Amino acid sequence: MSKPEIIITPDKMCLLASSWRSDRLKIALVPTMGFLHEGHLSLIKKARETANRIIVSIFVNPLQFGPNEDFDSYPRNIERDIFQLSKYGVDAAFIPTIQNFYSPNFSTSVDVNDLTQGLCGTDRPGHFKGVTTVVTKLFNTCSPHVAVFGQKDFQQAMVIKRMTRDLNWNIDIKIAPTVREHDGLAMSSRNANLTTLERSNAPKLYKGLCKGQTEITNGVRSAKKIQQIIYCFIKENLTEQIEYVEVIDKETLERIDTISRPIVIAAAVRLSKTRLIDNIILSPSNLSTS
Ligand code: AMP
């Protein structure tokens, strides 16, 4: 067990990454907002498969939170995170402060127009612009060959892939499967903010998506019908505060009518103060999921 090098300033991160690059080492970056759980750790394991230097960034990025969102109450525990990273042989933990990452007159943003309008983009205007801007800064400071993102935030991963392609970055974007609690709830740092009752009900979000999946397996091909089934299940069993339930094309993220190609069924709900999202990827040809 060896502690990762803790790096606070972007300059120092740039220097370390460029020295690794001169030594022809392959760098993988795992961007996170901390309060690490098994989902994050699975991304580190995936990074380890292809790279010999791993950087995990921990930064609760204010740009991607709306004014009435949970930036202040977002769970944080840096000491525990660093301990976790030691167990996984991470080489560097990049933990910038807001002040040293964003200069006082910071005024630049990176925005992906396509893919960001629907789903989480509808209820969180400006969210993806905050994500793509911070990930751009992380790519520039960490110079990764590979960056690993989670399927749990599927839209985010697709937006990052598009940004990377559009801006000609030679970075391999990998998407790792969603890691779940024993009862099916997708692991998330935000789960720590659920009340006991909310936590016990929260797996019904995934249950609803699985219900939709079962209907597709049984032959239903109408996206609207699947959407309705999931929507009603979540409304009756979990919450009326449903931000969206969508059946979308896996590549374009556009709504579809008939399920005939790889799709994603995705949903977002609010449980008092906590927002939960989840999704299932489905290829109707072989009905396998990931
Ligand atoms: P976050 O710290 O929530 O911003 O997440 C950092 C990265 O971990 C993102 O790429 C997420 O998609 C990914 N991630 C979060 N939760 C999970 C999970 N349960 N399984 C797999 N990856 C996850």
Instruction: Give the number of the atom of ligand 1 that is nearest the alpha carbon of residue 152.
Output: 12
| CA 119 vs CA 10, 27, 277: distances in Å | 32, 32, 10
- For ligand 1, residues with CB inside 6 Å are 32-33, 39-40, 42-43, 149-150, 152-153, 176, 178-179, 186-189
DSSP output for 180-237: B-TTSPBP-GGGGGS-HHHHHHTTHHHHHHHHHHHHHHTT--BHHHHHHHHHHHHHHH
Homologous superfamily of domain range 5-176: HUPs (3.40.50.620)
Residue 286 has pLDDT above 60, yes or no: no
Q: Residue 49: enclosing H or E segment and its boundaries?
A: helix 38-50
User: Residue of the nearest CA to atom 18 in ligand 1?
Assistant: 39
Mention every residue, 6+ apart, whose C-beta is less than 8 A from residue 149: 31, 43, 156, 157, 160, 173, 174, 175, 176
pLDDT at position 1, please? 75
Structure tokens at 87: 């167990």
Separation of 185 CA from ligand 1 center, angstroms? 13
pLDDT at position 203, please? 98
18 CB-contact burial (10 Å; exposed 0-12 / middle 13-18 / buried 19+): exposed
Q: Which residue has the tokens 């993806």?
A: 128
User: Residue of the nearest CA to atom 11 in ligand 1?
Assistant: 150
Residue 265 has pLDDT above 70, yes or no: yes
Separation of 150 CA from ligand 1 center, angstroms? 5
Higher-scoring residue by pLDDT: 284, 174: 174
| CA 147 vs CA 38, 163, 174, 176, 274: distances in Å | 18, 13, 6, 11, 27
Angle, vertex CA 77, rays to CA 74 and CA 79, nearest 5: 160
Please list the residues that pair with 277 across neighbouring strands: 268
Residue 288 has pLDDT above 60, yes or no: no
Angle, vertex CA 39, rays to CA 38 and CA 45, nearest 5: 80
Give the confidence band of 285 by pLDDT, cuts at 50, 70, 90.
low
Instruction: Give the number of the atom of ligand 1 that is nearest the alpha carbon of residue 187.
Output: 19
Residue 243 has pLDDT above 70, yes or no: yes
Residue 246 has pLDDT above 90, yes or no: yes
The pLDDT tens digits of the residues spanning 9-40 come to 999 999 999 999 999 999 999 999 999 999 99
Active site residue 40: yes
Residue 287 has pLDDT above 60, yes or no: no
Nearest CA to 212 among 199, 225, 203? Answer: 225
Rounded-to-integer distance, Cα 174 and Cα 69, Å: 28
Residue 290 has pLDDT above 60, yes or no: no
The pLDDT tens digits of the residues spanning 122-136 come to 999 999 999 999 999
pLDDT at position 85, please? 96
Residue 257 has pLDDT above 80, yes or no: yes
Residue of 37, 40, 127, 145 marked catalytic: 40
User: Residue of the nearest CA to atom 22 in ligand 1?
Assistant: 150
Separation of 106 CA from ligand 1 center, angstroms? 27
Rounded-to-integer distance, Cα 207 and Cα 212, Å: 9
Alpha carbon distance, N-terminus to C-terminus of the chain? 32
User: Residue of the nearest CA to atom 5 in ligand 1?
Assistant: 32
User: Residue of the nearest CA to atom 19 in ligand 1?
Assistant: 187
CATH number at 193-284: 3.30.1300.10
State mean pLDDT over 191-218. 97
pLDDT at position 284, please? 67
Separation of 188 CA from ligand 1 center, angstroms? 7
How do the domains of the chain map onto residue ranges? 5-176, 193-284
Yes or no: say if 153 and 277 are a contact pair by the CB < 8 Å rule.
Answer: yes
Residue 289 has pLDDT above 50, yes or no: no
Rounded-to-integer distance, Cα 187 and Cα 40, Å: 9
Separation of 107 CA from ligand 1 center, angstroms? 27
State mean pLDDT over 94-102. 98
pLDDT at position 283, please? 86
State mean pLDDT over 33-62. 98
State mean pLDDT over 236-257. 97
